[in-house]
Amino acid sequence: MTATLGRRLAAEALGTGFLLAIVIGSGIMGERLSGGNPAIALLANSIATGCGLSVLILIFAPLSGAHFNPAVTLSLASLRIFPWNEVLPYVAVQIIAAFAGVAAAHLMFGEPSFFASTKIRTGLAQWWSEGVATFGLLMVIWACLRGRLAGAPYAIAAYVTAGYWFTASTCFANPAVTLARAASNTFAGIRPEDAPGFIVAQLAGGAAATLVMRWLSAGERGDRVAG
Protein backbone atom coordinates (compact mmCIF):
# COMPACT_ATOMS: atom_id res chain seq x y z
CA MET A 1 0.00 0.00 0.00
CA THR A 2 2.68 2.45 -1.07
CA ALA A 3 0.26 4.03 -3.56
CA THR A 4 -1.10 7.52 -2.90
CA LEU A 5 -4.43 7.86 -1.08
CA GLY A 6 -6.06 8.98 -4.33
CA ARG A 7 -5.01 5.86 -6.20
CA ARG A 8 -6.03 3.66 -3.29
CA LEU A 9 -9.46 5.28 -3.13
CA ALA A 10 -9.83 4.79 -6.88
CA ALA A 11 -8.99 1.11 -6.46
CA GLU A 12 -11.43 0.78 -3.55
CA ALA A 13 -14.11 2.47 -5.68
CA LEU A 14 -13.57 0.22 -8.69
CA GLY A 15 -13.67 -2.89 -6.52
CA THR A 16 -16.77 -1.92 -4.56
CA GLY A 17 -18.55 -0.82 -7.73
CA PHE A 18 -17.81 -4.09 -9.48
CA LEU A 19 -18.90 -6.04 -6.39
CA LEU A 20 -22.33 -4.41 -6.43
CA ALA A 21 -22.62 -4.86 -10.19
CA ILE A 22 -21.94 -8.56 -9.67
CA VAL A 23 -24.38 -8.96 -6.75
CA ILE A 24 -27.21 -7.06 -8.42
CA GLY A 25 -26.53 -8.16 -11.99
CA SER A 26 -26.34 -11.87 -11.25
CA GLY A 27 -29.45 -11.56 -9.09
CA ILE A 28 -31.41 -10.03 -11.99
CA MET A 29 -30.11 -12.60 -14.48
CA GLY A 30 -30.81 -15.46 -12.09
CA GLU A 31 -34.35 -14.32 -11.39
CA ARG A 32 -35.18 -13.65 -15.05
CA LEU A 33 -33.98 -17.06 -16.26
CA SER A 34 -34.97 -19.35 -13.41
CA GLY A 35 -38.63 -19.75 -14.28
CA GLY A 36 -39.86 -18.82 -10.82
CA ASN A 37 -37.61 -21.18 -8.85
CA PRO A 38 -35.79 -18.91 -6.36
CA ALA A 39 -33.34 -21.63 -5.31
CA ILE A 40 -31.93 -21.75 -8.85
CA ALA A 41 -31.70 -17.95 -8.89
CA LEU A 42 -29.88 -17.95 -5.55
CA LEU A 43 -27.54 -20.71 -6.73
CA ALA A 44 -26.53 -18.53 -9.68
CA ASN A 45 -26.37 -15.41 -7.50
CA SER A 46 -24.21 -17.09 -4.86
CA ILE A 47 -21.83 -18.80 -7.30
CA ALA A 48 -21.40 -15.61 -9.36
CA THR A 49 -20.83 -13.51 -6.26
CA GLY A 50 -18.27 -15.96 -4.89
CA CYS A 51 -16.38 -16.25 -8.16
CA GLY A 52 -16.47 -12.50 -8.77
CA LEU A 53 -15.56 -11.43 -5.24
CA SER A 54 -12.51 -13.69 -5.18
CA VAL A 55 -11.23 -12.02 -8.32
CA LEU A 56 -11.92 -8.48 -7.06
CA ILE A 57 -9.96 -9.14 -3.88
CA LEU A 58 -7.13 -10.61 -5.92
CA ILE A 59 -6.98 -7.52 -8.14
CA PHE A 60 -7.43 -4.79 -5.58
CA ALA A 61 -5.89 -6.16 -2.36
CA PRO A 62 -2.38 -5.05 -3.38
CA LEU A 63 -3.70 -1.58 -4.26
CA SER A 64 -6.23 -0.62 -1.55
CA GLY A 65 -6.48 -3.62 0.77
CA ALA A 66 -9.76 -4.54 -0.93
CA HIS A 67 -12.08 -3.85 2.01
CA PHE A 68 -15.16 -2.88 -0.05
CA ASN A 69 -16.96 -2.82 3.31
CA PRO A 70 -17.21 -0.21 6.12
CA ALA A 71 -17.49 -2.96 8.75
CA VAL A 72 -14.13 -4.33 7.62
CA THR A 73 -12.49 -0.91 7.53
CA LEU A 74 -13.74 -0.14 11.05
CA SER A 75 -12.66 -3.49 12.46
CA LEU A 76 -9.17 -3.23 10.95
CA ALA A 77 -8.82 0.30 12.31
CA SER A 78 -9.81 -0.81 15.81
CA LEU A 79 -7.25 -3.65 15.53
CA ARG A 80 -4.66 -0.97 14.51
CA ILE A 81 -4.05 -2.61 11.14
CA PHE A 82 -5.56 0.36 9.26
CA PRO A 83 -5.04 4.08 10.05
CA TRP A 84 -8.03 5.78 11.73
CA ASN A 85 -7.59 8.98 9.70
CA GLU A 86 -8.32 7.13 6.45
CA VAL A 87 -11.50 5.46 7.68
CA LEU A 88 -13.81 8.30 6.66
CA PRO A 89 -12.59 8.64 3.05
CA TYR A 90 -12.60 4.85 2.62
CA VAL A 91 -16.17 4.50 3.92
CA ALA A 92 -17.40 7.46 1.87
CA VAL A 93 -15.91 6.04 -1.30
CA GLN A 94 -17.30 2.57 -0.56
CA ILE A 95 -20.83 3.93 -0.24
CA ILE A 96 -20.68 6.13 -3.34
CA ALA A 97 -19.11 3.39 -5.44
CA ALA A 98 -21.68 0.87 -4.25
CA PHE A 99 -24.48 3.04 -5.64
CA ALA A 100 -22.53 3.51 -8.89
CA GLY A 101 -22.20 -0.25 -9.18
CA VAL A 102 -25.95 -0.69 -8.77
CA ALA A 103 -26.55 1.86 -11.52
CA ALA A 104 -24.03 0.12 -13.79
CA ALA A 105 -25.83 -3.20 -13.35
CA HIS A 106 -29.27 -1.65 -13.89
CA LEU A 107 -27.98 -0.05 -17.10
CA MET A 108 -26.78 -3.44 -18.37
CA PHE A 109 -30.19 -4.98 -17.75
CA GLY A 110 -32.26 -2.06 -19.04
CA GLU A 111 -33.58 -1.00 -15.63
CA PRO A 112 -33.80 2.59 -14.30
CA SER A 113 -30.59 3.70 -12.52
CA PHE A 114 -32.12 3.52 -9.03
CA PHE A 115 -35.53 2.45 -7.74
CA ALA A 116 -36.34 1.74 -4.12
CA SER A 117 -36.64 -1.93 -3.21
CA THR A 118 -39.90 -3.30 -1.82
CA LYS A 119 -38.34 -6.52 -0.48
CA ILE A 120 -39.09 -6.93 3.23
CA ARG A 121 -36.10 -8.05 5.29
CA THR A 122 -36.70 -7.24 8.95
CA GLY A 123 -37.29 -8.75 12.39
CA LEU A 124 -35.20 -10.34 15.11
CA ALA A 125 -34.37 -13.50 13.13
CA GLN A 126 -33.04 -11.44 10.23
CA TRP A 127 -30.99 -9.20 12.52
CA TRP A 128 -29.54 -12.19 14.36
CA SER A 129 -28.74 -13.64 10.96
CA GLU A 130 -26.87 -10.50 9.84
CA GLY A 131 -24.97 -10.44 13.12
CA VAL A 132 -23.85 -14.04 12.64
CA ALA A 133 -22.99 -13.36 9.00
CA THR A 134 -20.78 -10.36 9.79
CA PHE A 135 -19.19 -12.10 12.77
CA GLY A 136 -18.13 -14.96 10.53
CA LEU A 137 -16.95 -12.71 7.72
CA LEU A 138 -14.61 -10.83 10.02
CA MET A 139 -13.29 -14.08 11.52
CA VAL A 140 -12.36 -15.23 8.03
CA ILE A 141 -10.66 -11.97 7.08
CA TRP A 142 -8.78 -11.93 10.36
CA ALA A 143 -7.59 -15.53 9.93
CA CYS A 144 -6.36 -14.69 6.43
CA LEU A 145 -4.45 -11.64 7.68
CA ARG A 146 -2.94 -13.57 10.61
CA GLY A 147 -1.71 -16.36 8.38
CA ARG A 148 -0.79 -14.06 5.47
CA LEU A 149 -2.62 -16.62 3.35
CA ALA A 150 -2.17 -16.53 -0.41
CA GLY A 151 -5.59 -18.13 -0.70
CA ALA A 152 -7.34 -15.30 1.14
CA PRO A 153 -9.39 -14.17 -1.88
CA TYR A 154 -10.85 -17.64 -2.27
CA ALA A 155 -11.49 -18.14 1.44
CA ILE A 156 -13.42 -14.88 1.79
CA ALA A 157 -15.39 -15.59 -1.36
CA ALA A 158 -16.19 -19.13 -0.26
CA TYR A 159 -17.51 -17.77 3.03
CA VAL A 160 -19.85 -15.39 1.24
CA THR A 161 -21.11 -18.10 -1.12
CA ALA A 162 -21.91 -20.27 1.91
CA GLY A 163 -23.42 -17.27 3.69
CA TYR A 164 -25.97 -16.69 0.92
CA TRP A 165 -27.42 -20.05 1.96
CA PHE A 166 -26.80 -20.67 5.63
CA THR A 167 -27.93 -17.26 6.91
CA ALA A 168 -31.63 -16.46 6.63
CA SER A 169 -30.75 -12.92 5.48
CA THR A 170 -28.44 -14.08 2.61
CA CYS A 171 -25.36 -12.57 4.25
CA PHE A 172 -25.29 -8.90 3.29
CA ALA A 173 -22.68 -8.39 6.06
CA ASN A 174 -21.72 -5.00 4.64
CA PRO A 175 -23.29 -1.59 5.41
CA ALA A 176 -22.30 -0.01 2.08
CA VAL A 177 -23.74 -2.95 0.18
CA THR A 178 -26.90 -2.77 2.28
CA LEU A 179 -27.48 0.91 1.47
CA ALA A 180 -26.93 0.39 -2.23
CA ARG A 181 -29.09 -2.73 -2.43
CA ALA A 182 -31.94 -0.61 -1.01
CA ALA A 183 -31.83 1.27 -4.32
CA SER A 184 -32.50 -1.84 -6.40
CA ASN A 185 -36.00 -3.32 -6.59
CA THR A 186 -34.63 -6.63 -7.87
CA PHE A 187 -33.74 -10.09 -6.53
CA ALA A 188 -30.98 -8.77 -4.27
CA GLY A 189 -32.85 -5.71 -2.95
CA ILE A 190 -33.88 -4.64 0.56
CA ARG A 191 -36.53 -2.07 1.58
CA PRO A 192 -34.88 1.25 2.52
CA GLU A 193 -36.66 1.24 5.88
CA ASP A 194 -35.15 -2.17 6.66
CA ALA A 195 -31.57 -1.09 5.96
CA PRO A 196 -30.84 0.54 9.35
CA GLY A 197 -31.70 -2.64 11.27
CA PHE A 198 -29.36 -4.63 9.04
CA ILE A 199 -26.54 -2.12 9.49
CA VAL A 200 -26.85 -2.06 13.28
CA ALA A 201 -26.77 -5.86 13.35
CA GLN A 202 -23.73 -5.91 11.07
CA LEU A 203 -21.81 -3.47 13.23
CA ALA A 204 -22.72 -5.45 16.37
CA GLY A 205 -21.56 -8.70 14.77
CA GLY A 206 -18.36 -7.04 13.62
CA ALA A 207 -17.65 -5.67 17.10
CA ALA A 208 -18.24 -9.09 18.67
CA ALA A 209 -15.87 -10.72 16.19
CA THR A 210 -13.19 -8.13 16.92
CA LEU A 211 -13.38 -8.89 20.65
CA VAL A 212 -13.28 -12.67 20.16
CA MET A 213 -10.36 -12.43 17.77
CA ARG A 214 -8.36 -10.40 20.27
CA TRP A 215 -8.97 -12.95 23.01
CA LEU A 216 -8.27 -15.99 20.84
CA SER A 217 -4.95 -14.62 19.62
CA ALA A 218 -3.83 -13.24 23.00
CA GLY A 219 -2.05 -16.47 23.84
CA GLU A 220 0.08 -16.45 20.72
CA ARG A 221 3.70 -15.46 20.48
CA GLY A 222 4.14 -11.82 19.36
CA ASP A 223 1.37 -9.79 17.78
CA ARG A 224 1.28 -11.28 14.30
CA VAL A 225 -1.88 -9.41 13.36
CA ALA A 226 -0.44 -5.98 13.90
CA GLY A 227 2.94 -7.01 12.40
Q: Which residues within the stretch 25-54 sit at the binding site for its own copies (CB under 8 A)?
A: 25-26, 28-30, 33-52, 54
- Determine if 205 is a binding residue for its own copies (CB under 8 A): no
Stretch that binds its own copies, among 77-85, 157-165, 174-182, 195-203 (CB under 8 A): 157-165
- Determine if 4 is a binding residue for its own copies (CB under 8 A): yes
- Determine if 204 is a binding residue for its own copies (CB under 8 A): no
CA distances for 180 relative to 32, 101, 222, 227, angstroms: 21, 8, 40, 34
**Distance in Å, CB of 53 to its own copies, minimum:** 8
The closest of 118, 111, 73, 65 to 92, measured between CA atoms, is: 73
Name residue 98's amino acid.
A
- Determine if 128 is a binding residue for its own copies (CB under 8 A): yes
3-class secondary structure, 123: coil
Identity of the residue, 82 or 154, whose beta carbon is nearer to its own copies in the bound complex: 154
- Exposed e or buried b per residue across 3-15, where buried means at least 16 C-beta atoms within 10 angstroms of its C-beta: eeeeebbbbbbbb
- Determine if 146 is a binding residue for its own copies (CB under 8 A): yes
Q: Which residues in the 77-106 window bind its own copies by CB under 8 A? A: 104-105
Query: Residue 184 and residue 191: Cα distance in Å, rounded?
Result: 9
